[in-house]
Amino acid sequence: MQRDDPKTLVSTDWLSRHLRDPDLRILDASWYLPDMGRDARSEYDAAHIPGARYFDIDDVSDSRSDLPHMAPPIEKFMSRMRAMGVGDGHQVVVYDGAGLFSAARVWWLFRLMGQVDVAVLDGGFVKWQAEGRDVEDMPPIVRDRHMTVRRQNQMVKDVTQVASASKLGDYQIVDARSAPRFRGDAPEPRPGLRAGHIPGSRNVPYGTLLNADSTMKDPAALKAVFEAAGVDLSKPAITTCGSGVTAAVLSLALEIIGKTDHSLYDGSWSEWGMFPTVPVETGPAATGDN
């Protein structure tokens, strides 16, 4: 079943039909962890969807922060998008080279900046290539375009807000990391961080929301995954992960099932795991906790 929604998720068929639309802007937002052994920029230079611009998650970020790829100030986002020729009146489609991994982070970032006409390519560049669709190695011709930004502060949370939510239980915190990392059984990929999870959080590894071909599961199946993990969907949600990238896969899935009261903890475990004053739990999520 195709679930084409230009505000959340579109299929490769949809993108192929709209590829020449004058107001379509395609972004390659590939980003990889060091242990993946891949170079996102060189892969983009070698082959990308026709017309795609490269979106560097580490560059379009807050350079004043010691934390990785935190959301940038409004002015920086606007200037980077102008330079990429992305602005008002454009339909944006974001993809990545892993299937559905980092593209959702850029979807969330656009939503944070008040942009709603943005979707993730379901199955990403992997599916596009597997289907034998056109690729190119030439950079697109870019013309400046102004973007009006209205930051949606309710879509992001900081460590103080998350600590309060953990203590009060008035939000459902959902962690996209792997189960061993959530339990504290596996070491964190970033040095110096404690192991475990935010007290009261639930674990929904982002991969459990995807099919074998890295496309997103259908809405009923997504809802079932959240419920099986003990997520209370009646509460507003805060998504989290290692550094705020795969948390956005959870945010996208929540949006797809019609849950709009979600925010993302931008610092995620890169921040929480290093803060000595906030509590850490280990083991599986306890039943009946907040």
Q: What residue segments make up the domains of the chain, in order of their start? A: 9-151, 154-272
**DSSP code string of 26-86:** EEE-----GGG---HHHHHHH-BSTTPEE--TTTSS-TT-SSTTPPPPHHHHHHHHHHHT-
The predicted structure's pLDDT at residue 289: 44
The predicted structure's pLDDT at residue 36: 86
* Rounded-to-integer distance, Cα 217 and Cα 150, Å: 31
* Rounded-to-integer distance, Cα 220 and Cα 5, Å: 16
Structure tokens at 31: 């980003």
* Rounded-to-integer distance, Cα 16 and Cα 163, Å: 44
Q: What is the per-residue pLDDT across 125-150, written as a single tens digit (0 to 9) for each?
A: 999 999 999 999 999 999 999 999 99
The CATH classification number of 9-151 equals 3.40.250.10
Entry pTM: 0.96
- Cα within 13 Å of Cα(122), Cβ side: 26
Catalytic entry in 241, 248, 253, 285: 241
Q: What is the per-residue pLDDT across 61-89, written as a single tens digit (0 to 9) for each?
A: 999 999 999 999 999 999 999 999 999 99
Domain 154-272 CATH superfamily: Rhodanese-like domain (3.40.250.10)
Where do runs of H (alpha helix) occur along the chain? 12-18, 40-46, 74-84, 103-112, 124-130, 159-168, 179-183, 219-228, 247-256, 268-272
Output the average pLDDT for the chain.
95
Determine whether 241 is an active site residue. Answer: yes
Identical fold, 9-151 and 154-272: yes
Place 2 in a pLDDT band, splitting at 50, 70 and 90: low
